[in-house]
Structure 1
Amino acid sequence: MSNQPGQIDDARVMELAAAGWSNAAIARELGCHEASVRRARKRLRLASAPALNAGTHAVGESETHRPDGSADYTVPSTVAWGYDDFCKFIRSKGQDPEQVTFSWGVTSTPGGGYFNKLNNVRPKAPQASSIDTDAILDRLRTWTPTPMESVAGEPVGLVVALADLQLGKGEGDGTPGTLRRLEQSLERVVEQIRSLQTRGVRIRSILLANMGDHTEGTHGSYASQPYSVDLNLRDQLQTALEVNLQWVKTLAPFTDNFEYAATICNHGTLSRAGGRENITDDADNATGLITDLIAKICKLHPDLQHVKVNSPRGEMITTTTIEGVTLAMAHGQKITGSEANWLAAQSQNLAHRRKFVPDMWLTAHKHHAQVTDFGPYTRIQATTVEPGSKYFEDLTGQYSRTGVTMFTVGQDLPGKWDNYYIA
C-alpha cells in the first residue's frame, strides 16, 4: 500500500492497530501527531482505538507515577529503542531529558517485538555546588555572642534542644533556609535568656541538647532522598559541626555549668548498605562523631574547657541531671506503638539497669512541638527549623511551626520545669 508524501505509513498503522496499540502509542512509534493516526484509522476503515476502560495503551504498555514525583514507563515497539528514542519519549511527556535522571533498557517480546523500559524518571536534584559552603561557614564563625549578666535568685537550669536540622535536605529553601532560621533562633534564645534574667530568673546551668538528625544523610531514609540532597555527606557533617560549635561558643559563656549532650538518631547512621540500619553497630552515627569532635575542640579552646560533653556510643537513651532534675533524652525513632507504654517501659529499664529515675523525657524525631504530662514525668517533644516535607504536607495537610525548643528546669518548679518557649 503506497502513501503520498507527508503521509504516515498506512501499512504500519494497520499492523500496529491489529496488535491492539493505542493511537498515542502508534503516534509515538511513527513520530507523528495522534490526530494523524486517527485520520488514518478512519481512512483505512480500521476499528477504533481501545476504549478507556479497556486501556488506552498498547498491549504491554504501562505507565506508573509515584507520590515522590518519579515515574516508570514501558512502551512496546517493533524496533528496539536507543538512547535518543528514550529522550524523544521523555520530551513527549513534557519534560526535558537534560533536567531529569532516568535509567533505560530493552527486552524482547514473545511476538518478536520489544519492550522499551524507562525507569525512575525524576527531576534532577539541586547540585551540591550550588551551595556556597565557605560563605555559610564564614557567617557562622563571625557571629558575635552576647555576654551574660549576673542575676540573683533561686538557680534553675536551662535546656535548649537542637533537633532534626537535617542539614543537606534540599526541599523548600534547603540548607540555606535552615541556616537562616538557625541563626534567627540563636538570636531569640539569647534574647529569651536576657528576658528571663530581667524577670529575676537565675540560670545557673545550661544543657545544649543535640537531639539528633543534624544531617540529612544521602540514602536509606526514603526513596527520593538521593535525588533531593543539596550537600554531600562530607559537607553536611562539616556544616553540622560548625553549627553546633557556634551554639556552644555562644551559650557556654553564660554559665560555668554547661553541658553538651547528644542522642543517637536515624538520619545519622553512617554505614547503611541500602537499608535503614547500620551494617556495623549503632555507635556508627553522625551524632556521635559530631559530639566526639565537639569534646576534642572544647578541650583545646581556652574559653570552652569548662564544657562538659555527654557523648553516647550505641545507647539510644542519653541520661543527665541538671539542677537536680533527672532528664532522659531519646531521638525517638525507636518509639513504636503507644508512646506512653514505651516511655513507661524505658523508665522502668533505666531505673533497674542504670539506677536512673527520670523526672522528664526529651524527644525529637516527629518535627513538631508537643508537651505531655504522663504523671511521674513530663515528655517534651522538640520542634525543628528544617524546611519541611512537601510530600507529608500534601498527604496529611499537616505542617509544624519552626523553631528551637527551650525551657527551664528546677526542683522547686511546677512539674520540675517552666518557661517553655520556642525560639
Structure 2
Amino acid sequence: MTTNAAEKLAAIKTAAPTGWERGNERIGDKGFGSTGAMEPGENADELRLLTKAGFDPKEWIIVGDIQYRELDANIGGGEIKTMQYRKFAVRRKVRTESGFEDLMADIRRRRWKPQAATGAGTFHLAQGDWQLGKVDGDGTAGTVDRIVASIDKAASEFRIQRKRGKPHAHLTFLGDCMEGFVSQGGKNAWRTELTLTEQLRLTRRLMLYSIDQFAPLTDNLSVVSIPGNHDEAVREPGLTTYDDSFAVDSLIAVQDAMNMNANSYGHVRTMVPQRDSLTVTMDVNGTVVTHAHGHQWRPGKHWDWWQGQSFEPGADIGKASLLLAAHGHHFMVDTKGARRYIMTPAQESESTWWKNKTGDHGAPGALTFWSEAGVTGGFTVV
C-alpha cells in the first residue's frame, strides 16, 4: 500500500525536537506557537505559520524574530528527509476603528536585514551639451576642464558602486557635444572659437578619455552617442538622414580606433542610432532605456512625445522604463507611473543669449546614477 506525502509528514511529528512540536500556548493576549515539521520550500509566510501553529490569523500576529531549525528525519523505508521547524511569539490584535495600534505594532516588530548584492545593477554617467568651441562663459577651456573633472569623479564613484553590486558601467553622450555651425543658420559662427575639425578632434578625444577611465574597471562597459541639434552635419531638409551627426560619427571613429586594441577594449560595446533615427533604445543590463537628445519635443512635453513614439505596435520606445535626455541644460527627474524621465545638465557654463534674455545662469555638470531592473536612484551632479 502506498503512503502519501501527508501521511509520511504526519508520521514524523513525533520525531520533532523537544520543544519544537506543533502546538501553541496562550496567556491572555500573548502566546507562543510552533509549526511542527514543514517541508523545505513550503510556504512560510505569516498567515501560513500562524495557521500551522493553530492560531487564527484574523486574531493574532507574530511579534519579534521567528526561530528556525532543521532536522534530518527518517520517514521510513530508508528515506531521509530534511524538515524545517519554526517557533515564534504572538500577540492578539488590538481592535480599533482605525487599526492604528496594529500598524504601530507591525512597524515595531519589523527587522531590517541587509540585502546581498545581486550583481545586476548598472552605474550610469550621462553627459550632454558640451558644445565644444563656444566662447560663452569660461569658453572651451573651462568646459574641457569640467568634463575631465566630471569623468574622473564619476570613475572614482564607480569604484565604490561596483562593490555594491553595480558592476556594469554605461556611458552616454546625449547630443550637442560640439557647438557646430548649423544652429541659428550659422549666425553663431563668430562666437565659436574652434574650427569644425578642431571641435571634432576634441569630441573624439574626450569620448575616448571617458572610455579609458572606465574600461579597466569593469568587464561590461556600454557606450551610446546620439545626435543633437548643434552637431547636425547638414541642416537642409532632404539633403541627408537624421542620424547624420558629428556626435554619432565621433563615437564610430572611437570604435574604429578601439578595434585595433581588442585586449584593452574588447569588452566595450558601442551603440549609435540606426539609419534615419535620432534615438537609441536598448536593454542596459535589465533596464530598457531610450536615449534622446530632447530637441524633438517642446519643454515639458516629454511625456507627450514618449506616448506618441510608443503608439506604433512593437515600438522599442514603448518598452522603455527610462527616457534619458539632455538639451534643457539643467538636471531634472520626472515620473509617471513606473516610467521615469531624466535630463542631464549641460557642461557649458552658460548660454550668454539665454542669460541676457531670462537671467537664467547655467549650473553645469554631468549626471551619475544607478539602475537595476527598471528602478533608478542615487542621482549626483558631478
Q: How far 1:317 sits from its partner (Å)?
A: 1.7
Q: Return 5+ residue gaps in structure 1 as ranges.
A: 1-151
Q: Which residue of 2 aligns with 1:61?
A: none
Q: Which residue of 1 aligns with 2:381?
A: 422
1:347 aligns with 2:307: no
SS of the equivalent of 2:310 reads: helix
Q: Distance in 1 between matches of 2:238 and 2:353?
A: 26
Q: Distance in 2 between matches of 1:203 and 1:210?
A: 20
Q: Distance in 2 between matches of 1:272 and 1:298?
A: 30
Q: How far 1:399 sits from its partner (Å)?
A: 2.3
Q: Which residue of 2 aligns with 1:311?
A: 272
Cα deviation, 1:330-359, whole Å, max 9, x if unaligned, reads 00111137322112222334x523485011
Between Structure 1 and Structure 2, how many residues are aligned? 263
1:159 aligns with 2:129: no
Question: Which range moved further: 213-222 or 399-408?
Answer: 213-222
Cα deviation, 1:210-245, whole Å, max 9, x if unaligned, reads 101111002433664111001000000000000000
Cα deviation, 1:135-181, whole Å, max 9, x if unaligned, reads xxxxxxxxxxxxxxxxx822210111120101111112211010011
Cα deviation, 1:75-134, whole Å, max 9, x if unaligned, reads xxxxxxxxxxxxxxxxxxxxxxxxxxxxxxxxxxxxxxxxxxxxxxxxxxxxxxxxxxxx
Equivalent pair of 2:327/2:346 in contact (CA under 8 Å)? no
Q: How far 1:278 sits from its partner (Å)?
A: 6.9
Q: Which residue of 2 aligns with 1:383?
A: 345
SS of the equivalent of 1:345 reads: helix
1:168 aligns with 2:116: no
Give TM-score, length-normalised by structure 2. Answer: 0.65
1:324 aligns with 2:290: no
SS of the equivalent of 1:246 reads: helix
Cα deviation, 1:269-324, whole Å, max 9, x if unaligned, reads 11235xxx572221321122112112211211220121111122321121111221
Q: Distance in 2 between matches of 1:256 and 1:331?
A: 28
Q: Return 5+ residue gaps in structure 2 as ranges.
A: 1-115
Cα 1:228–1:299 change in 2 (3 A) is same
Q: Which residue of 2 aligns with 1:290?
A: 250
1:183 aligns with 2:148: yes
Pairing 1:233-382 to 2, within 5 Å after superposition: 233-272=196-235, 279-301=239-261, 302-312=263-273, 313-336=275-298, 338-349=301-312, 352-354=314-316, 357-382=319-344
Equivalent pair of 1:278/1:284 in contact (CA under 8 Å)? no
Q: Distance in 1 between matches of 2:379 and 2:238?
A: 35
Give TM-score, length-normalised by structure 1. Answer: 0.59
In structure 2, what residue type is equivalent to 1:409?
Answer: S
In structure 2, what residue type is equivalent to 1:422?
Answer: V
Q: Which residue of 1 aligns with 2:101?
A: none
Q: Distance in 1 between matches of 2:238 and 2:250?
A: 17
Q: Which residue of 2 aligns with 1:144?
A: none
Cα 1:171–1:222 change in 2 (3 A) is farther
Cα deviation, 1:182-230, whole Å, max 9, x if unaligned, reads 1211121123223435xx5222211111101111002433664111001
Cα 1:360–1:229 change in 2 (3 A) is same
Cα 1:387–1:224 change in 2 (3 A) is farther
Q: Distance in 2 between matches of 1:388 and 1:203?
A: 33
In percent, how many aligned pairs have the same letter? 24
In structure 1, what residue type is equivalent to 2:257?
Answer: I
SS of the equivalent of 1:333 reads: coil
1:407 aligns with 2:372: no
Equivalent pair of 1:263/1:317 in contact (CA under 8 Å)? yes
